[in-house]
């Protein structure tokens, strides 16, 4: 879990002349809501509805495609706030609206990413929004922190060569659920987010990444790797490969002996 942001929204009013008036009932304490890294906005909406007075519908309306998303992303196409809803811990008071919580999440994103160095990404003709998209891919693909810059390097290398990214997490986003076992039909879903069908980056982030993934996406490790495959030894790690032949050997290695090398 990354750094948490405490946002206290204590909005109970104060009456200056209470001598002859009955004391108002005390405000209930705010509810602590933690959004882990890697959630899509629909998942955040469900957490809010389960734990607070904010409905999923209100949150999705406040984070849906619109002018704010276009402005943050620097694009003229309809864009939601996916990616800009910074994962952290927030204090949700009884009077807090969905819009105010979203404002706090976007403010947290701006605050935490203010010192991110985008110079290398810009040298590769990538915008900060492109970096955010890459960060969202890393967040869903990587379990071991030290591998974030390595997976970022694979994405950069494949983009430079015009290769499809072939990232299963984008297929899951297109399907609308984090489905562990994807079928051949799933992998062929006709959706612009499906990087197994369409080259380049997906149109937008597939989740809301944390700062570590954003930093890795802005400044990847320099490697010759073009492929990676998950090990099957429970470590959460990957094998990395430079060529298709190396990748095929890594796939076979992952399949045998539980992926232990």
Structural domains of the chain, with CATH? 31-112 (no CATH), 119-221 (no CATH), 224-261 (3.30.160)
Q: Tell me the pLDDT band of 16, cut-offs 50, 70 and 90.
A: very low
Other beta carbons within 10 angstroms of residue 114's beta carbon come to: 7
Answer whether residue 44 shows pLDDT above 60: yes
- Confidence at residue 25, expressed as pLDDT on a 0 to 100 scale: 61
d(CA 158, CA 152): 10
**Cα separations (Å) of 18 from 11, 15, 131?**
18, 6, 54
Give the mean pLDDT of 228-252: 91
Answer whether residue 7 shows pLDDT above 80: no
Contact 192, 203 (CB under 8 A): yes
Beta strands in the chain (DSSP E): 31-34, 89-92, 227-230, 238-241
Beta strands in 125-223 (DSSP E): none
Return the DSSP state at 39: B
Which residue from 10, 48, 15 is spatially nearest to 27, judged by alpha carbons? 10
d(CA 85, CA 76): 20
- Confidence at residue 235, expressed as pLDDT on a 0 to 100 scale: 86
d(CA 192, CA 253): 32
Contacts of 173 (CB under 8 A, 6+ apart): 40, 193, 202, 206, 207
Answer whether residue 258 shows pLDDT above 60: no
**Between 232 and 117, whose confidence is greater?**
117
């Amino acid at each position: 879990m990354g750094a948490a942001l405490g946002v206290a929204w204590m909005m109970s009013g104060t009456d200056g002349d209470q001598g002859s008036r009955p004391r108002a009932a005390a405000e209930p304490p705010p509810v602590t809501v933690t959004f882990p890294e890697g959630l899509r906005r629909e998942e955040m909406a469900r957490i809010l509805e389960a734990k607070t007075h904010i409905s999923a519908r209100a949150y999705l309306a406040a984070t849906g495609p619109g002018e704010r998303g276009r402005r943050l992303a620097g694009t003229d196409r309809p864009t939601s706030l996916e990616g800009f809803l910074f994962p952290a811990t927030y204090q949700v008071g009884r009077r807090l609206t969905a819009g105010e919580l979203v404002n706090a999440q976007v403010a947290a994103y701006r605050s935490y990413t203010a010192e991110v160095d985008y110079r290398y990404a810009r040298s590769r003709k990538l915008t900060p929004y492109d970096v955010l998209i890459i960060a969202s891919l890393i967040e869903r693909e990587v379990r071991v922190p030290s591998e974030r810059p390595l997976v970022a390097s694979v994405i950069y290398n494949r983009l430079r060569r015009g290769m499809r990214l072939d990232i299963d997490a984008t297929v899951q986003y297109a399907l609308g659920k984090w489905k562990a076992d994807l079928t051949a039909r799933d992998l062929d879903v006709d959706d612009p987010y499906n990087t197994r069908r369409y080259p380049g980056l997906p149109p937008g982030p597939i989740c809301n990444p944390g700062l570590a993934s954003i930093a890795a996406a802005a400044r990847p490790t320099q490697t010759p790797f073009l492929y990676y495959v998950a090990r099957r030894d429970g470590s959460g790690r990957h094998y990395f490969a430079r060529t298709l032949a190396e990748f095929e050997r890594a796939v076979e290695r992952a399949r045998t002996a539980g992926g232990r090398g």
